[in-house]
Amino acid sequence: MRAFQAGPRELALAAAALLAPNVGPQGHTPGASLPPARLGPAAAATPALIVQNYPTLTKGTLLGAITYGIGGKLWFTETSCGKIGAVSLDGRVTEYPTTYPGSVPEDIVLGPDGRMWFTEQGMAALGAISAAGVVSNYPIPSGNTAIGLALGPDHRLWFTEQLSDRIGAMTTTGSVTEYPVPVANAAPHDITLGPDRMLWFTEPTTGEIGAITEAGALTEYTVPTANSGVRNIVTGPDGRLWFTEFTANKIGVITTTGKVEEYPIPTPDAQPHGLVAADGRIWFAEGNADAVGVVTPTGQFSKVGVDAGREPVFVASGPGNTIWFTEDGEPSVGVIHAGSTPSPALSARHRARS
């Protein structure tokens, strides 16, 4: 068993939690000081695609997860400056500060109460924000910090505690239950709702995929490639769970009975990160290749290039046949206008399925 190796992004986030600037509360008018959208190249295999980029209002920030949510907007986290961002479908960006600049918000999902919920790695809490930008915090009593987040079939917010090897669940009123992961140093990372009503999560240091019931019963399955760096996970269109293997440069998939398949990504050292199921395929960020990759359920790959140096991190499905993604290289939210992608009423990286 190898220890989890923190990359440049993880180290930067840790520094942000300790050295966060003293940013006071501030609101932003949608669209304020936004330059014209920039067009990026589309992959030759998909010539009809158009890529646009909308810069954040806070310069130099690192961005986290993104998801479609309230107000018909894409909501995202700004990890290194302690803000929650929202971008309209026409590219108008609004930013809202959390209650503490060093909160390090990472994952974000739409909650059952009509608010956007997010993890706060620097506060041992979950946060929630209304459509008007009102932020509330709900402490995790054990003092453990959360990173991944998903809405469960029981309408609780389920989260991973990477540093304490636990899976937690919180009600919208802040009541928390925690369940220990059986294997020590598992470092549970991302989490998503599966088609079997179980919450599925990744364990980067042990190379396993875990599943937990609403009652807290856990099962773990080993990924064949050792030290693969399993990272993010999502339910696919085929009823299997798809995940990125950051270190092994692969996309993996597991059935609800534990059968695993792995597909090498054609792009060398792509550094796959966030992913989303859309239009019958899996779209994923290739941060080191400045691209958004696409893989079919049978393992056929293609990709869409973005401007050099943008480094896509997380991916979400939006309405109007769009795929949205956060970019760390030049802090922006990108969008791919793709004619074959879905127009969901509520499609997101961690969409709840009841």
Q: Could you read off the pLDDT of 189-246 as tens digits, one per residue? A: 999 999 999 999 999 999 999 999 999 999 999 999 999 999 999 999 999 999 999 9
Higher pLDDT, 8 or 166: 166
Marked catalytic residue, from 28, 155, 189, 273 = 273
Over residues 108-113, mean pLDDT: 98
Over residues 151-160, mean pLDDT: 98
| Domain at 94, CATH number | 2.130.10.10
| Least confident piece of the model among 47-51, 145-149, 178-182, 265-269 | 47-51
Higher pLDDT, 354 or 76: 76
Q: Could you read off the pLDDT of 279-292 as tens digits, one per residue? A: 999 999 999 999 99
Are the beta carbons of 209 and 231 closer than 8 angstroms?
no
**Would 33 be classed as within a structural domain?**
no
**Would 339 be classed as within a structural domain?**
no
Containing structural domain, residue 98: 61-180
Confidence of residue 349 (pLDDT cuts 50, 70, 90): very low
d(CA 285, CA 239): 21
**Would 198 be classed as within a structural domain?**
no
Residue-wise DSSP of 144-202: -----EEE-TTS-EEEEETTTTEEEEE-TT--EEEEE-SSTT-----EEE-TTS-EEEE
**Would 301 be classed as within a structural domain?**
no
Confidence of residue 26 (pLDDT cuts 50, 70, 90): very low
Confidence of residue 345 (pLDDT cuts 50, 70, 90): very low
Residue-wise DSSP of 238-260: TSSEEEEETTTTEEEEE-TT--E
Residue 28 pLDDT > 50: no
Query: What is the pLDDT at residue 25?
Result: 27
Higher pLDDT, 132 or 338: 132
Q: Could you read off the pLDDT of 314-338 as tens digits, one per residue? A: 999 999 889 999 999 999 999 999 7
Mean pLDDT score across all residues of the chain: 85
Q: Could you read off the pLDDT of 33-46 as tens digits, one per residue? A: 233 333 333 333 44
**Would 158 be classed as within a structural domain?**
yes
Over residues 285-306, mean pLDDT: 96
Query: What is the pLDDT at residue 48?
Result: 55
**Would 122 be classed as within a structural domain?**
yes
- The pair of structure tokens assigned to 164 is 């304490």
Over residues 48-63, mean pLDDT: 90
Active site (annotated) includes residue 273: yes
With a CB cutoff of 8 Å and minimum separation 6, the contacts of 231 are 189, 190, 202, 204, 243, 244, 245, 246, 272, 273
Angle among Cα 210, 328, 5 to the nearest 5 degrees reads 45
* Number of other CB atoms surrounding residue 271 within 10 Å: 22
d(CA 118, CA 125): 9
Q: Could you read off the pLDDT of 260-280 as tens digits, one per residue? A: 999 999 999 999 999 999 999
d(CA 74, CA 85): 8
**Would 295 be classed as within a structural domain?**
no
**Number of separate domains in the chain:** 1
Query: What is the pLDDT at residue 156?
Result: 98
**Would 263 be classed as within a structural domain?**
no
